[in-house]
Amino acid sequence: MVVQAHAIEQAARLLAQARAAWALTGAGVSTHSGIPDFRSPGGLWDLADPEEVSSLAGFRRNPRAFYSFWMWRFRHMERAQPNAVHALLARLEREGRLRGVITQNVDGLHRKAGSQTVFEVHGHLRSGKCLLCHGTYPMEEIIHQTEVEGVAHCACGGLIKPEVVLFGEDLHPDFGRAWEATAEADLLFVLGTSLTVWPVAGLVPRASSRGATLIIANRDPTPYDDCADVLLRGDLVETVRALEIALE
């Protein structure tokens, strides 16, 4: 779908006028970096039962199945490079047009692109923790141990879980920071997320109800499109490249 020039120009104008803008990103931001999303046809949930490979109960019940499904994907995420979407958000922050990024992604690509303020509400892949003693291990060590033994154990004997949020767990403390940020935002720029996962999706009506301008850029419709001041449809990289030109 061709990006509508009027919507791009309107989004650029609103971003230029904002004084406390935040971005909220989801899996669609990273698909151009070679990282598949979860819910689209051919996504990760077509390949496995999320209850088995992405829940805390499933991890405790069968950690080998968890590691078998995720470890090579985690390795792939570590090697992935930021794309134009990550680059634009980092640039907007450097220029003072964006306070920071709230992301559902665990791939670390926003930080790799140069974003400084990143709230990783679903955790990250930089390290893992023992479920017993809470000892911390670098991800490289966890990956190596699982490649050799099929599972990662702490020196105390407990299971080591990557610091990603699984179903059945509380969100990362960054969610509290994101909650406060959206209360003060005058613009929320939503990119690449279906806005169906709670409580993160609740950040959108929270910001909107407090008067924030809402820009939604996503390939598919979301439950909050009716609340948006600007809707940007189509390929996300094409969208941000057009936006970049408009901002200049």
Residue 118 has φ and ψ, to the nearest 5°, of -130, 120
Neighbours of 61 (CB within 10 A): 12
Element (H, E) at 187: strand 187-191
Round to whole Å and give the CA distance between 76 and 18: 36
Question: Beta strands 213-217 and 136-138: pairing type?
Answer: unpaired
The answer to whether 107 and 125 are in contact (CB under 8 A) is yes
Query: Which position among 32, 86, 110, 122 bears the catalytic label?
Result: 122
Distance separating alpha carbons of residues 79 and 61, to the nearest angstrom: 29
Catalytic annotation present for 122: yes
User: What distances in angstroms separate CA 131 from CA 56, 65, 135, 136, 159, one per listed residue?
Assistant: 11, 17, 8, 10, 6
Q: Are 113 and 178 in contact (CB under 8 A)?
A: no
Residues serving a catalytic function are 122
